[in-house]
Structure 1
Amino acid sequence: MKKTFQIISAACIVLCISAFTVANKTINEGYKIGDIAENFSLKNIDGKTVSLTDYKKSKGVIVVFTCNTCPFAVAYEDRIIDLDKKYAKKGFPVVAIMPNNTSIKPGDNLQAMQERAASKGFTFPYLIDESQDVFPKYGATKTPHVFLLENTKKGFEVKYIGAIDDNYQDPTAVKTKYVENAVDALLERKQIEQTETKAIGCSIKV
Structure 2
Amino acid sequence: MVLKRSDSELSRGDDAPFFSLPGADGRTYSLDSFADAEALLVVFTCNHCPYAEAKREELNHLADSYDGLAVVGINPNDAEEYPDDSYEAMRERVEEGEVRFTAYLRDESQTVAREYGAVCTPDPFLFERTDEGFELVFHSRIDDAMSPDEEPTEYEMRTAVEAVLRDEEIPVEETPSQGCSIKWRDE
Matched, 1:151 2:142: no
Paired with 2:175 and 2:107, the residues of 1 have a C-alpha distance of 24
Matched, 1:35 2:34: no
Matched, 1:174 2:149: no
> Which one has the largest radius of gyration?
1
Aligned twin of 1:116: 93
Calculate the TM-score normalised by the size of structure 1.
0.79
Matched, 1:188 2:166: yes
Report the secondary structure of 1:162's partner residue: coil
Paired with 2:50 and 2:106, the residues of 1 have a C-alpha distance of 19
Paired with 1:161 and 1:47, the residues of 2 have a C-alpha distance of 28
Aligned twin of 1:46: 25
Greater CA deviation, 97-106 or 117-126? 117-126
Matched, 1:137 2:119: no
Unaligned runs of 5+ in 2: 1-5
Calculate the TM-score normalised by the size of structure 2.
0.87
Higher helix share: 1
Paired with 1:37 and 1:141, the residues of 2 have a C-alpha distance of 16
Kept after mapping to 1: 8 A contact 2:7/2:118 = no
Report the secondary structure of 2:93's partner residue: helix
C-alpha displacement of 1:62: 1.0
Count of aligned residue pairs for this structure pair: 177
Unaligned runs of 5+ in 1: 1-26
Identity %: 40
- C-alpha spacing 1:131/1:195, structure 2 compared with 1 (3 Å): farther
Choose which of 48, 53, 57 in structure 2 pairs with 1:74.
53
Greater CA deviation, 34-43 or 173-182? 173-182
